[in-house]
Amino acid sequence: MAIVAHFALAAVLPLVARRYGRAAFVVGALVPAGTLVHAFTRAGDAVAAVPPSETLAWAPAIGLEFTTRFDELALLLILLISGVGTVVLCYYAGYAKVGDRRTAARDSALLVTFAGAMLGLVLADDVISLYLFWELTTVCSFLLVGGDGIRKRLRQSATQALLVTALGGLAMLLGLLLLATAAGTLRISEILADPPGGGVVPAALLLILLGALTKSAQAPFHPWLPGAMVAPTPVSAYLHAAAMVKAGVYLVARFAPGFADQPAWWIPIVGCGIWTMLLGGFRALRQYDLKTLLAYGTISQLGFLMIMLGTGTWLSALAAGTLILAHGLFKSALFLTVGIIDKRTGTRDIRELSGLGRRWRVLTTLATLALLSMAGLPPLLGFVGKEAALEALLHAGAAGLVACAGVVLGSVLTVAYSLRFLRGAFSRKPDVEPPPSAPCGRVMTGLVALPAFAGLVLGLVPGIAEPVLAGYAGSFGPGPDYHLALWHGVTPPLAISAGIIVAGYLVHRYAGLQRLGGRLPEPLQAQNWYRASVDGLEHVARGVTGRIQVGSLPVYLGVILTTLVVVPGAGVLAGGAEFGQLRLFDNWLQVPLAVLVLAAAATALLARRRLTAVLLTGVVGYGIGAWFVVDGGADLALAQFLVETLTLVVFVLVIRRFPPRFTKDRPYVPGRWVKAAVAGVAGTFVAVLAVLYSGYTHGMPEASREYIERAEDETGATNVVNAIIVDFRAFDTIGEIAVLAVAATGAASLILARSRRRTRQGGSDTGAEAGDTGRGDAHPEVTS
Amino acid sequence: MTINITMAVTLAGLYSIGFYLLMQRSLMRVILGIVVLGHGANLFLQVAGGPPGEPTFVGTAVIEAMVDPLPQALALTAIVITFALTTFLLALSYRSWALLGHDEVQDDVEDRRVAAAERAAREREDEAAEAEVGESERVAGFEAPEAPEAGPGQTDEEAGIR
């Protein structure tokens, strides 16, 4: 219902925007806001033991249906999608340029469509609609990043995002289908309730993970995300921080309860997660562009989420849920802050910003709140989540300890780049002239306040969100007695947290380390891999097209014939076909006929004069006719003789006008031998097929027997072939006559057009002259 | 088993010759190739009908001794349609002769142009890569060996095409 409302509104929004400009964003915000309220009122249902679900038959004949299921995980994501969506859409109304109605129309409609697709994605309970909405979000992202598509950089980034995520999406589709086939159902909830086993499942899981990892920008697929930062800041805030990149996390979260103990599942997740978290944090340390800094921060945080989901215990799931919520809130607040800075000062480069903290105290406070949450400091939600995460990892065995070390290191980097953001954006730098700036705007600041304060409130009172989060964690089995809280007493996680903060501060202060930060050797940069693979693909495509599509008919035919031989030939060889006993001949007359036919055909091949070739081909035809007589096909032979005679007459009529000899072939001998070889092999292959085929026929088929038995009674004819042609299979004959009529009409029109032109041109008979007059004036005569 | 060696050899010969004729430049030979292939196909259809037997006239022989009438009926249709096709192709080649002054199968100009455009694009890219040495030396070095392949001769050819 809500999904449909999203799409319906998105269809109307361009009209609104054309009329009222950027007010369209506010109108568009109504639907996510409504969804948010609706989700709140129905939150009780989601937490209930049996979550409500709806089914809409889509194509019942093949078992396709659209199923939604509103459970705790879906509720959590909906709150995020709709909440952040509402804020971002309202914010965009202030961010957009006043006069630019086309952009407003496009982006507002796309954003609302995207919100609907995300909603469908998290609600979908069958793999097909899951995939459908998944790709819809990819397409929306492509269009939103691409913008008007005028600048090359926009197009490149959008294409990269599309290629990487769509590639993962396709792999995911394959994985989902394999999984669904193994489980025997398309319903995700049923698959998870009874996870299938067997050899195909690890492969399916790896394919699904490929989709999740590309979508959530995990290393080594991450470079598309910083590239996508060329999009308008609200779009980045929504798609590339809060919502779309969460789709991969969501997918992992959705399937984790069923497969958390499969090595093919958790090892790649945790491994990529640690790698991503460290790499993202490391690269963020070097960025000067605030937005790119946040993008790398997002990558790092997504890696963190993946680690927690891959660990797959009750506690880690609780931590992951908390962190999903926290990340969505603080990251959208930070992006919106960057948007304000960019809009009001004209730059978002750390090296050019100075002294904003004094001037924009409210915004600075809000951003600080969000940054504290990101760095995992009390009393914010990020801290609560990180405490739970550390607690979970410390109790998750040896792998958990390795992951814990990764998380600690990653968190140190997180603290460091949070400080970099804070100081870079707001502090006063002595050697930098403060940029000219306007007031930061009350409405937009107010919108930043919403997610920032939500993080604070939830951090202070985590009990609000706990039923939902614990409900999701409950799908991993019963949990220990742990509650989200700011203060658990003096515990190892608290000590680790304190250590992280101190270490992060030191990393930030210690300038030498920071200068080192983010520098990667060239061959290790994933962006180069991407570029090399895309270039390579284009290269191969161009090479293949250039070599195969040469425009020469003989070459094409040769390729087709070779394929004909190679593909079924390989099958025949692999199948180990039997040839059985072969007789030399059935009737001794066949042998001289075969010699005659082959000799005539071979000489026709070598003939230099047209007439000779045609007459020899006629001999082939008569030979075949005689063969029919020997084989017992009297009618067939009659038809063959008649038609062969007619064909000869037509040939002779036509070649009258041609020169007596064939045009000389170009002296290209190797080509001739290649042609002969291909033709010989293909012809032999056909004969082999015929032998094989005949080995599998036994006696007269039932249909033919029936024809013979019924011929006299039903048609009154004793000649069965005649009976078949004019009665049993009369429709075939009608079709045949139609073909004849069409061919005759065509041939007649082609020839008559010529004769009419000749009379008009005063009897110029040589083709060369006619050719010189060109094609242009010939065609109208054909049609006339 | 309904086939014998004589039949198989004839089939192989007819199909080979037909394929070879089909790959010729002369339109007349191509048509002859289609005619020969048609004969081969009709013979092939008889393979489906089983070994030779008595003609299928009801009452002249027992059913077991007769040949299968159905492939014969189908081959009859095929013969006539081959004739129609041949006639139409002959008219076409005649037309080609009248308009162009020859009856040769020519290369597809459009395909040639596509291939040439690809080559030109590759050359342009190489130049761009060389110009951007500062941006990424590795890529330029990677593509450099291909530069001699796209030599001046091809540039001339493209100029001619345009």
* Residues A455 and A339 reside in one and the same domain: yes
* Residues A449 and A497 reside in one and the same domain: yes
Burial label, A60 (beta-carbon count in 10 A; 0-12, 13-18, 19+): exposed
Per-residue pLDDT at A298: 92
* Residues A767 and A721 reside in one and the same domain: no
| pTM attached to this predicted model | 0.69
**Judged by CB atoms within 8 Å, which residues 9-48 of B form the interface with A?**
9-26, 28-29, 32, 35-36, 39-40, 42-44, 46-48
Spatial CB neighbours of A662, under 8 Å, sequence gap ≥ 6: A608, A609, A610, A613, B26, B28, B29
Interface test with A, best of B58, B62, B124 (most A CBs within 10 A): B58
Per-residue pLDDT at A770: 38
* Residues A511 and A638 reside in one and the same domain: no
Cβ–Cβ below 8 Å for A636 and B86: no
Q: Which residues of A fall within a CB distance of 8 Å from B120?
A: none
Spatial CB neighbours of A269, under 8 Å, sequence gap ≥ 6: A209, A252, A306, A307, A309, A310
This complex has an ipTM of 0.74
Cβ–Cβ below 8 Å for B36 and A545: no
Q: Which residues of A fall within a CB distance of 8 Å from B119?
A: 546
* Residues A326 and A468 reside in one and the same domain: yes
Number of H helices, E strands in chain B: 6, 0
Angle of the A442-460 helix axis to the A381-394 helix axis, nearest 10: 40
Range(s) of the domain holding residue A534: 519-549
Interchain contact B59–A (C-beta under 8 A): yes
CA dihedral A473, A475, A478, A480 (to 10 degrees): -10
Helix (H) / strand (E) element for A52: namely none
How close A716 comes to chain B (CA, Å)? 10
* Residues A456 and A343 reside in one and the same domain: yes
A2: left (phi over 0), alpha (psi -120 to 50) or beta: alpha
Interchain contact B8–A (C-beta under 8 A): yes
Cβ–Cβ below 8 Å for B53 and A614: no
Instruction: Confirm whether A121 is domain-assigned.
Output: no
Tens digit of pLDDT for each residue in B115-141? 777 677 767 767 766 665 444 433 333
List C-alpha distances in Å: A15 to A11, A18, A19, A178, B23. Answer: 8, 5, 7, 43, 59
* Residues A746 and A692 reside in one and the same domain: no
Per-residue pLDDT at B12: 92
Interchain contact B131–A (C-beta under 8 A): no
Instruction: Confirm whether A178 is domain-assigned.
Output: no
Cβ–Cβ below 8 Å for B111 and A640: no
Q: Which chain A residue has the Cα nearest residue B18?
A: A679
Cβ A227 vs Cβ A157: under 8 Å: yes
Give me the total of CB pairs closer than 8 Å, taking one residue from chain A and one from chain B: 336
Cβ–Cβ below 8 Å for A676 and B20: yes
Cβ–Cβ below 8 Å for B6 and A744: no
How close B46 comes to chain A (CA, Å)? 9
Cis preceding linkage at A263, omega within 30: no
The shortest CB-CB distance from B19 to any of A581, A683, A705 is to A683
* Residues A650 and A700 reside in one and the same domain: yes
**Residues of chain A falling short of pLDDT 50:** 512, 761-784
Residue A550 to residue A567: CA distance in whole angstroms: 22
* Number of domains within chain A: 4
Per-residue pLDDT at B157: 39
- Which SS3 state, helix, strand or coil, does residue B66 take? strand
Per-residue pLDDT at A156: 86
- From A242, A661, A513, A690, select the one nearest B49 (Cα to Cα): A690
* Residues A725 and A743 reside in one and the same domain: no
Per-residue pLDDT at B159: 37
* Residues A416 and A489 reside in one and the same domain: yes
Interchain contact A692–B (C-beta under 8 A): no
Cβ B90 vs Cβ A657: under 8 Å: no
Tens digit of pLDDT for each residue in A434-469? 766 677 778 888 888 888 888 888 888 888 888 888
* Residues A459 and A540 reside in one and the same domain: no
| Cα three-residue angle A178-A320-A314, rounded to 5 degrees | 80
Cβ A632 vs Cβ B68: under 8 Å: no
* Residues A536 and A596 reside in one and the same domain: no
Cβ A585 vs Cβ B6: under 8 Å: yes
The residue ranges of every structural domain in chain B are: 5-100, 109-161
User: How many beta carbons lie within 10 A of that of residue A343, not counting itself?
Assistant: 18
Q: Which two tokens stand for residue A609?
A: 């004069």
Per-residue pLDDT at A623: 93
DSSP for residue A240: I
List C-alpha distances in Å: A129 to A195, A248, A332, A690, B91. Answer: 20, 15, 28, 48, 55
Interchain contact A191–B (C-beta under 8 A): no
Per-residue pLDDT at B136: 41
Q: What is the DSSP string of A512-530?
A: HHHHHTT---GGG-HHHHH
Per-residue pLDDT at A112: 87
Instruction: Confirm whether A495 is domain-assigned.
Output: yes
